Amino acid sequence: MRTEDIDGFFASASSLDADDYLLLDYSFECSGDPRTAAAHLCSEQSTAQWARVDVDEDYRPRFAAKVLDLEVETVLSETSYVLSPRVSGPVSVCRVRIAHPHANFGPRIPNLLSAVLGEGAYFAPDVPIIKLLDIQFPASFLDAFDGPQFGIEGLRARFGIHDRPFFLGVIKPNIGLAPEPFAEIGYQGWLGGLDIAKDDEMLADPHWSPLAERSALLGAARLKAERESGESKIYLANITDEVDRLIPLHDLAVGNGANAVMVNALPVGLSAVRMLRRHAKVPLFAHFPLIAAFSRLPLYGVHTRVMTKLQRLAGYDAIIMPGFGPRMMTSEDEVSENIAACIEPMGAIKPALPVPGGSDSAATLERVHRKVGSADFGFVPGRGVFGHPMGPRAGAASIRQAWDAIAAGIPVADYASGHPELSAALARFG
Amino acid sequence: MRTEDIDGFFASASSLDADDYLLLDYSFECSGDPRTAAAHLCSEQSTAQWARVDVDEDYRPRFAAKVLDLEVETVLSETSYVLSPRVSGPVSVCRVRIAHPHANFGPRIPNLLSAVLGEGAYFAPDVPIIKLLDIQFPASFLDAFDGPQFGIEGLRARFGIHDRPFFLGVIKPNIGLAPEPFAEIGYQGWLGGLDIAKDDEMLADPHWSPLAERSALLGAARLKAERESGESKIYLANITDEVDRLIPLHDLAVGNGANAVMVNALPVGLSAVRMLRRHAKVPLFAHFPLIAAFSRLPLYGVHTRVMTKLQRLAGYDAIIMPGFGPRMMTSEDEVSENIAACIEPMGAIKPALPVPGGSDSAATLERVHRKVGSADFGFVPGRGVFGHPMGPRAGAASIRQAWDAIAAGIPVADYASGHPELSAALARFG
């Protein structure tokens, strides 16, 4: 880009109408002049050629993405991650805030992704390392989205669950167990105190556990558990499937008694979730396959917070996400940022229930509760309930006992002495 | 995992029915025992708890993913990429081939992605760094997919383009130009010799260039260009949008004279593409936003080859991909592997046309042709046509002249002396 062209991709925030722009925060490493690199980032994600040949016109004022802030943090002798082809020579480590005019594409998720995570981000000349750290939407953009149908308060009201976390359990064995024993152990989990018995994210509609049969059995077991326990119970059916089967499977599962459905957000695509949201009669839960493929490295890809915001925008009522603890290889700050992204103000879009998960059990509830800082979360053990040495009913009871201790301000380990289910859970999983 | 449990996740290839398994090649770095780590990879992507408590059963023989080969390549003192939280201590760099039983989920793209790129890959204990390098499908799995409707031979027959590459041009200015002048320069490109004038991947259906208006103008201009040139011409309309608008926009654009449509594969989701494929009346072209977010780093994420195969499986007739040259920050080997993934035998699935792209012009055609090794590719300049100093018609002519030189075995630079369009292109873009 010629030096005189670079200025067209810079602006001050005060000179722009904030309602017309998304705000994008990227970190990047570039091998040339940082100002030129930032201009390229803008050019490639908006108007890459802003005039016809021999026509006196300039599409940049209205259509260009524009650098609002650019900071060079440090200079390295080579990129932080060795690439192929290798990039060496002085490399500037930068942060940039870009204002991107959303009228370039409109309030559509695939077009948003194409603009902010396409060639513009990843193929800007001399910018081989880049991560989209955050995105902010003005009200004019948010207004086009429905967001969660129920949200946290809607979930609480619908199921009568107040002043405590939602207790989920992933029914295990997750893959291989036939519908009848699968429903039976889900039922045991509910009796023990689970709110939500759920399918694993990999268990959908295989021939050895057809959703039709499984959801009918779980739907009936749920009603039985509700009658016996006097509590609302939820069967969260995984309807992850090809896009054109989402609505039929939703109708099938809900007709059979599933009162929430789960869709793996990124494998199915956020746009398909938005479509399902308009049809859904029950709360939608997200699961996170694929997200780590582009979010784990601190300096490359996309921050999970961006995907959490987009999942909320697409209409999920609850977002299962990689949670606390070394098992999920995600920093505690990042988990907290994702929880915040579920609940922070976002125009008229309701808060979604954060469900930070990863090898949880009665032994981890206190830590998760403390990290979240409130009871507005879902807690989602798998083996912590269904691998409990005394069986799933005891496994679920151990979770409720751990919560009883926390709610009463008693150390969980102390409370265990009078509660064999909790005691066994701490011994096995602690 | 207990030592005696690990063996259940290992098998010899000869002991398995190849038709029942996908083959997955991962590279990974692990901080513990590599054999245990590989067993975790299998367990987490299939049956993570393979028996109920106190029930004598084992779901692994039928449902477990199984290690066929495991090689430890070297041992490092810390992971190749610094993570947060940091992983240090001896780290083994490994390659593994895993056989994954596809009946766990069936021939469904979202469920396939959930199994091979979900928790199983990215959250296996002690495996913080991992990349899915390749995937192979048995005939029993492929049979459920349609793949490309036309494929390379179908595209050639439909449009009468033989023994040479398909010449595409991305109409520029890509963002900001109103439909009428946009159609006019597309028309100029066709007259100059383009086969395909296309929308930029970021230009879809914004209010300042509605697809209805744009496609009507381009559709009419295409017919005019066909009459005047005596050649088939193609308007490739970008219909990337929310999933539930893909079929309506396909019908709109095709009704207006678009004779091919483009959908940004990953932003829309491959499953939505598969849905569109069943409806499509014209060839489908893929574009690649988002792919670099998880494929650029040599040791983490997903290799682009996997995504190329999945795009072909989903039904794309042509796949625009990051191409040769430093501009696209992709190694030449990787581009070649993606081209191979478009055309190599894949059951009854037709070959897709590879379209390796990135800042191309008459100056790069010879190199791209040599690298591809045949004329079975699409060549996709943007500014190389629409930023040509003599205008788009001359820009398109410069591409055709470069091909004439190549086909005649004359060095392109020599041929330029009698061809001012080519000469100007080499001077500007060479």
Q: Looking at CA atoms only, how far is residue A157 from chain B in angstroms? A: 31
Q: Output the six-digit token pair for B165.
A: 């590459």
pLDDT band at B89 (very low <50, low <70, confident <90, very high): confident
Query: Residue B143 half-sphere exposure, CB side, CA atoms within 13 Å?
Result: 6
Question: Which of A6, A25, A110, A102 minimizes the C-alpha distance to A71?
Answer: A25
This prediction's pTM: 0.98
**Chain B contacts in chain A segment 255-274 (CB below 8 A):** 264, 266-272, 274
* Chain A touched by B165 (CB under 8 Å): no
Chain B residue with Cα closest to A272: B243
Q: Which of residues 360-389 of A touch B (CB under 8 A)?
A: 382-383, 386-389
Q: Which domains occur in chain A, in start order? A: 3-142 (3.30.70.150), 151-429 (3.20.20.110)
pLDDT of residue B235: 98
Q: How far apart are CA A263 and CA B266, in angstroms?
A: 17
What is the nearest CA distance from B51 to chain A, expressed in angstroms?
6
* Cα–Cα distance for residue pair B276/B146, rounded to 1 Å: 12
pLDDT at residue A88, rounded to an integer: 83
ipTM above 0.95, yes or no: yes
Bridge partners (DSSP) listed for residue A124: none
What gap in Å lies between CA B40 and CA B125, rounded to an integer?
6
Of B114, B122, B174, the CB nearest to A201: B114
Interface contact B68, partner A, CB < 8 A:
no
Q: Which of A82, A271, A392 sits opposite B242 (nearest CB)?
A: A271
pLDDT > 90? residue B4 = no
Cα A245–chain centre separation: 22
Mean pLDDT over A208-223 rounds to 98
Specify the pLDDT at position B88: 83
What are B144-163's pLDDT values in tens digits?
999 999 999 999 999 999 99
User: Would you call A111 an interface residue with chain B, using a CB distance cutoff of 8 Å?
Assistant: yes
Query: A249 to chain B: which residues are within 8 Å by CB?
Result: none
Contacts of A412 (CB under 8 A, 6+ apart): A362, A363, A365, A366, A402, A405, A406, A422, A426
Q: Which of A114, A266, A300 to mutate to test the interface with B (most CBs of B within 10 A)?
A: A114
Instruction: Indicate if the pLDDT at residue B399 is higher than 90.
Output: yes
Q: Which residues contact B1 (CB under 8 A, 6 or more apart)?
A: B36, B39, B40, B43
B92 - beta bridge partners? B30, B75
Residue at A384: amino acid letter: G
Q: Mark yes or no for CB contact A298/B84 under 8 Å.
A: yes
Q: Does B45 touch chain A (CB under 8 A)?
A: yes
Whether B1 shows a pLDDT value over 90: the answer reads: no
- Among the listed residues A381, A15, A298, A375, the one whose alpha carbon sits nearest the alpha carbon of residue A132: A298
Does residue B125 belong to the interface with chain A, where contact is any CB pair within 8 Å? Answer: yes
**pLDDT score of A12:** 97
A369: left (phi over 0), alpha (psi -120 to 50) or beta: alpha
CA terminus-to-terminus distance, chain B: 59
B189-230 pLDDT per residue, tens: 999 999 999 999 999 999 999 999 999 999 999 999 999 999
- Three-state secondary structure readout of A75-92: EEEECCCCCCCCCEEEEE
Q: Does A107 touch chain B (CB under 8 A)?
A: no
- DSSP 3-state assignment of A178? coil
A 2-41 residues with CB < 8 A to B = none
**Using the beta-carbon criterion (under 8 Å), do A114 and B289 form an inter-chain contact?**
yes
CA distance B124 to chain A (A): 8
Q: Indicate whether B429 pLDDT > 90.
A: yes
Q: B90 phi and psi, to 5 degrees?
A: -60, 130
Are A91 and A77 in contact by the 8 Å Cβ rule? The answer is yes
Give pLDDT, residue A147: 98
Supply the angle between the helices A270-279 and A304-314 in degrees, to the nearest 10.
30
Q: How far apart are CA B46 and CA B50, in angstroms?
A: 9
A162 and A368 in contact (C-beta within 8 Å)?
no
For B92, the token pair is 């083994």
The answer for A 410-429 residues in CB contact with B (under 8 A) is none
Residue A4 has pLDDT above 90, yes or no: no
pLDDT category, A358, cuts 50, 70, 90?
Answer: confident
Q: Is A56 on the interface with B (CB under 8 A)?
A: no
